[in-house]
Copies of this chain bind each other. A is one copy, B any other.
Amino acid sequence: MRIGELSDLAGVPTKTIRFYEELGLLPPADRTPSGYRDFGPDAGERLAFIRAAQAVGLTLGEIRSVVGLRDRGETPCEHVLDLIEARAADVDRRITELEALRTELHRLARRAKRLDPAECEPGRVCHLIGD
Contacts and interface: CB of A to CB of B under 8 A. Distances in A.
Contact of A88 (B56, B102, B128, B130): B102
A117 interface: yes
Contacts of A52: 129-130
Interface stretch (A5-13, A15-23, A28-36, A118-126): A118-126
Contacts of A77: 112, 115, 117, 120, 126, 128
Tell me the dominant secondary structure on chain A's binding face.
helix
29 contacts: A42-B123, A45-B123, A46-B125, A48-B130, A49-B124, A49-B129, A52-B129, A52-B130, A53-B129, A56-B108, A57-B101, A57-B105, A66-B126, A70-B125, A76-B125, A77-B112, A77-B117, A77-B120, A77-B128, A80-B126, A81-B109, A81-B113, A84-B112, A84-B128, A85-B109, A87-B105, A88-B102, A88-B105, A91-B98
